[in-house]
Amino acid sequence: MLSDFIEIKHKDHPKQQLKLSTIWLRDHCRCEECFNHTTKQRLLDLTKLPKDLRTSNVSEKEGGKILVQWSDGHKSEYSFQWLWKSQVQNLVPKTPMKSWTKSSIEKEDYANIPFNDLLNSEDSVKQVVESLITYGVAFINKVPPTTDMTEMAIRRMFPIMKTLFGEMFTFQDNPDHADTAYSKDFLGSHTDNTYFTDAAGLQTLHCIFHNGKGGESSLVDGLKCAEELKEKNPKAFELLTKVQVPAEYIDEDKEQHHYHSGPVIRLCPVTGLIKQFRWNVYDRAVMDTIPQEHMPEFYEAFIEMIKIIENEKNRWLFKLTPGTIMIFNNWRVLHGRESYTGIRKMTGCYVLHSEFVSKAKSLDLM
């Protein structure tokens, strides 16, 4: 049975033909005995199948169904379209990502939803999540500028991730944490939590007070930067998908020492699409993951990427004012800020990538 294949077609879909592994087909039987439809979990024990299991009859039924009779007497019914969509060569993203530059994003239809609409309509939630998949960014406007109201807006869509910075965090120029974010300094484009095994999937930032100058926010599309590098220098691109770049966060007073290595560009091994862009030049740890003989080519690729990220045509710069929450995909979009004067208070939080995926899947967007 393990080496058998079976050809399947259906008259409703004359252009489609499938060649399926017999064991795969049986493993995907969705009858009550093989699959619990309440819990959506598998029940079938593959080790209990007879060694010589074969299909004894396959027939096309009305409504795009396929009926399979098995040599052990079991019967399975499948939807042909479901079988079709379940094949690696037919996997297509439900909501494709669209890469952007500074000049293109300003013309795009990314979500910018009033707080009240978000609270009152499911469709507004969907627009935000869709925008986060397509562009990696969305905004909520007319939010009362407090941490509590920011929390309310985010909890409307996602649970909040707890980290060493707390759940909701409010930061300004003070030494609360050993990090440049807690200063008035310029912050170049980066993704957060490069030192976590599971970096936050989303980050939200809301400027709730500023009485000085500067402090503009910047966003850069990591997807665009990766595409640009691939186009200009495929060898450098390939290196940045492979070399493990170590990062760490050390706060001795709080007994924190987070450490993680991963590539700058993590590709999905199934689709080849970019899964995660991981970039923070400040939080890099000692580069000890490749031998010295490979350092020159790594640094060449890394510096080329810095130049793309810092290119003004990729950097979308704008001033966040009290009332607007910016949400971005921390696995894709880099953020930063200009230096500033005066008092500036930012509030926000992180969301687990897994929760983002869960919401997107519940809304049938992923």
Ligand X SMILES: C[N+](C)(C)CCCC[C@H](N)C(=O)O
Ligand Y SMILES: O=C(O)CCC(=O)C(=O)O
| Site for ligand X, rule CB under 6 A | 165, 169, 171, 179, 181, 190, 192-193, 280, 282-283
Rounded (10°) CA dihedral 328, 332, 333, 336: 100
Comparing CB distances to ligand Y, the nearer of 187 and 243 is 187
Q: Are 205 and 346 in contact (CB under 8 A)?
A: yes
CB of 200 to ligand X, least distance (A): 8
CB of 236 to ligand X, least distance (A): 23
Q: Which residue is nearest to ligand X (CB)?
A: 192
DSSP string, 164-229: TTBSSEEE-SSTTSSSGGGSSS-EEEE-S-TTSTT--SEEEEEEEEE-SSB--EEEEEHHHHHHHH
Euclidean distance between CA atoms 340 and 320, whole angstroms: 13
Grouping H, G, I as helix, E, B as strand and the rest as coil, residue 54 is coil
What DSSP element (H or E) covers 151? helix 147-155
CB of 361 to ligand Y, least distance (A): 27
Stretch 210-249 residues interacting with ligand Y (CB under 6 A): 217
Position 325 contacts ligand Y (CB under 6 A):
no
| Beta bridge partner(s), residue 61 | 65
Position 184 contacts ligand Y (CB under 6 A):
no
Euclidean distance between CA atoms 348 and 4, whole angstroms: 54
Q: For residue 75, what are its two tokens?
A: 């019967």
Position 132 contacts ligand Y (CB under 6 A):
no
CB of 338 to ligand X, least distance (A): 16
Task: Tell me which of 192, 221, 228, 355 binds ligand Y, using CB under 6 A.
Answer: 192
Q: For residue 206, what are its two tokens?
A: 């809301």
Q: With CB cut-offs between 5 and 8 Å by kind, which of ligand X, ligand Y, none does residue 280 bind?
A: ligand X
Position 335 contacts ligand Y (CB under 6 A):
yes
CB of 300 to ligand Y, least distance (A): 27
Q: Please give the span between the terminal C-alpha atoms of the chain, in angstroms, as a whole number.
A: 34
CB of 200 to ligand Y, least distance (A): 10
Stretch 194-213 residues interacting with ligand Y (CB under 6 A): 205
Comparing CB distances to ligand X, the nearer of 171 and 237 is 171
Task: Tell me which of 346, 349, 352, 360 binds ligand Y, using CB under 6 A.
Answer: 346
Interface contacts to ligand Y, rule CB under 6 A? 181, 187, 192, 205, 217, 335-337, 346
